[in-house]
Amino acid sequence: MTDPSWRESDLHDRFRDHGLEVPDSVVIPSGDDMAMLRPEAFGDGILIAADQVVVGRHVVEDADPEAIGRKAVLRNLSDVAAMAARPVATVATATLDPTRSRAWAERLHAGLHRTAREFEAPLVGGDLAIHDRPHGPTVVSVTILATPANDDGRVLTRRGAKVGDLLAVTGRLGGSLEPGGGGRHLDFPPRVGVGIGLEKVLGADLHAMIDLSDGLGLDARRLATASELAIRIDVDRVPITQGKDWRAAVEDGEDYELLFATSAAPPSEIDGVPVTVIGEFIAGSHGRVDLLGLEHPQRIDGMGWDHTTPRSSGREES
Amino acid sequence: MTDPSWRESDLHDRFRDHGLEVPDSVVIPSGDDMAMLRPEAFGDGILIAADQVVVGRHVVEDADPEAIGRKAVLRNLSDVAAMAARPVATVATATLDPTRSRAWAERLHAGLHRTAREFEAPLVGGDLAIHDRPHGPTVVSVTILATPANDDGRVLTRRGAKVGDLLAVTGRLGGSLEPGGGGRHLDFPPRVGVGIGLEKVLGADLHAMIDLSDGLGLDARRLATASELAIRIDVDRVPITQGKDWRAAVEDGEDYELLFATSAAPPSEIDGVPVTVIGEFIAGSHGRVDLLGLEHPQRIDGMGWDHTTPRSSGREES
């Protein structure tokens, strides 16, 4: 079943060759049993997260392989942004369905490698496997290492919002699946610089932060739950992508913007990205999120994208 | 298609609860956008590797889910052993086929979590996804962080063997798929303590090391290639699992033993695990490995398990 013209071991060698273009922070590059990084590449903490892209689930079946690799790294960079951290290195594993060609696999790797290098988080290791189900799913898993951007080691978790804190968001929300709308689903600028900038400007007034991957409803709930508070959002203040409605802003997911709690008014923009106050933290049922300003107030903490709905055309909630 | 009684987000919560039982080295546990570890948990280097288990490829379809999680962590620990390093933390991602039950997913997670904790490398993060192909493969990817066990930061790579170095191996080789033979395919004691012990005993005389995952043929080639030398192995000295022949020792793979280059005679055992000298490094075609002592010398550097052969009954080379 496997394309006889290439074997996993060939691509392993290619992974290794690519890995050699690495900065001084890498003592042992990709190609050995493990890679090694200098501790000096990290400050007061070593941050780690892992995320994956499942073809047919997170991206359509015929997506460009380089774009799939890119998205797998970008999703992780969005987590780095949400901590106000700076990326340091990545590793990746991929399981391909056996109908993929060697050229496809190489382009996937190029997408991983180039995107990781672009954001100064070189790809230092990985593994490739091929499964035995033709047209079964292709899965790409990326782990990212990061370090606190702030010299004193401070990072932002989801926890720490206080009653009366403002809830603010970067960019515009909704329409991530449509090129004419937000179109951020496949490619987007991760808000790494914005996250670091917010921490620098707001300092100790910035209390909690998360990136919007599953939609304003579910992700606001996570912030509220972690801080043991409720949230009230004013629909008229939500920055919605042109041509979309509040429901798209709440449910579409994959905005990859930052949502945060602050006790001081945030700047109106950072690095050219708009920042908008959309609501506030209140005492109440932990994790409850209400959207006000509609004909009837709407409870939205159950609304968002659960990742079990394929990313293709429709996205009816199950 | 998905079992309606559970959603990814439920299991995310479970992943988080488990993650809370973590040592002091973990500043921010699983459940936020990223986990954070103290730099003091690491010595003079931060080692990282990623590996995966594809159900139907690396383990049979109906394997116990806890054993699958365990194997995914053990494979990574074997890489840590090969560097003479000490594990510090793990993260894991899993993509399940939609026919798996919530109980199955929880047992997979328990296997990951318990094994990681057993080896003092707590599971600090992860992601779970469900794909849309019933009976498509389930994929588990694990990334492990480690630190040099030696106070001066020394680790062992595949490179550094010299002409005249002895080639030695731990344990016995072959029969990893058979419970009556080696049986190490699904569960095995990773040689972490043995790797550290070898580095301690042999010191600077220990020149290069690798773990045997793909078989003596392919893995000896990797050691030889990295050191730009050739290898000669004496078949009579190879410690073969009882009831198996030299071909099984060379080709079966998944021995998860250590293969190393040393300029001093190694001890005959470490931690109760036998250590055997089986050959030597010579000048010659880089990566060439010859097996002597048979009726006709056999070149074995192309022999081993390529991972495109499913791990089930047969294992004919393609």
For residue range B220-271, list pLDDT tens digits in order: 999 999 999 999 999 999 999 999 999 999 998 999 999 999 999 999 999 9
Residue A315: pLDDT band (50, 70, 90) is very low
Report the Cα B134 to chain-centroid distance in Å: 29
pTM (two decimals): 0.91
pLDDT score, position B309: 59
| Residue A128 near residue A6, CB atoms below 8 Å | no
Torsion of CA B92, B97, B98, B100, to 10 degrees: -80
Lowest mean pLDDT among A27-31, A237-241, A283-287, B273-277: A27-31
Q: Of B42-56, B79-93, B120-134, B171-185, where does mean pLDDT reach its minimum?
A: B171-185
Tokens of residue A108, six digits: 């996937």
Question: Token pair for residue A118?
Answer: 């672009």
Q: Are A84 and A150 in contact (CB under 8 A)?
A: yes
Test B127 with A52 for CB contact under 8 angstroms. yes
Which H or E element spans position A211? Answer: strand A206-211
CB contacts of B310 in chain A (<8 Å) are: 132
Short-list A92, A29, A145, A108, CA closest to B51 = A92
Q: Do residue B131 and residue A54 have CB atoms under 8 angstroms apart?
A: yes
Give the closest-approach CA distance of B54 to chain A in angstroms: 7
Residue B181 confidence (pLDDT): 52
Whether residue B184 contacts residue B254, with contact meaning beta carbons closer than 8 Å, is answered with: yes
The confidence score (pLDDT) of residue A307 equals: 60
**Contacts with A, B 115-144, CB within 8 Å:** 124-127, 129-133, 135-137, 139, 141, 143-144
Residues of chain B in contact with residue A42, where contact means CB-CB under 8 angstroms, are: 39, 46
HEC sequence for A269-311: EECCEEEEEEEEEECCCCCCEEEECCCCCEECCCCCCCCCCCC
State the nearest Cα–Cα gap between B9 and chain A, in angstroms. Answer: 7
Flag whether residue B83 sits within 8 Å of chain A, measured between CB atoms. yes
Q: Using an 8 Å CB-CB cutoff, list chain A residues near B125.
A: 48-50
Q: Is A160 on the interface with B (CB under 8 A)?
A: no
Mutation pick from B12, B46, B130 vs chain A, by most beta carbons of A within 10 Å, is B46
pLDDT over threshold 70, residue A180: no
Cβ pair A82:B33 closer than 8 A: yes
Where does the pLDDT of residue B4 fall: very low under 50, low under 70, confident under 90, or very high at 90 and above?
A: very low
- The beta strands (E) that lie in chain B are given as 26-28, 35-37, 46-54, 85-96, 123-130, 139-148, 166-170, 206-211, 230-234, 258-262, 269-270, 273-282, 289-292, 298-299
- In angstroms, the CA A35 to CA B3 distance is 39
CB B286 within 8 A of CB B224: yes
Say if residue B9's pLDDT is above 60: no
Distances (CA, A) of A152 to A8, A130, A203, A204, B275: 44, 44, 11, 12, 48
Write the burial class of residue B134 (CB in 10 Å: 0-12 exposed, 13-18 middle, 19+ buried). Answer: exposed
- A204 close contact with B: CB closer than 8 A: no
Mean pLDDT score, A230-246: 96
> Which pLDDT value is given to residue A61?
82
Task: Report the residue from B4, B48, B82 with minimal CB separation from A91.
Answer: B48
Cα-flanking dihedrals φ and ψ of residue A17, to 5°? -60, -45
> Which residue did the predictor score with more confidence, B163 or B63?
B163
Domains of chain A and any CATH numbers: 8-148 (3.30.1330.10), 166-299 (3.90.650.10)
Say whether A57 and B131 touch across the interface (CB within 8 A).
Answer: yes
- B269-270 and B298-299 strand pairing: unpaired
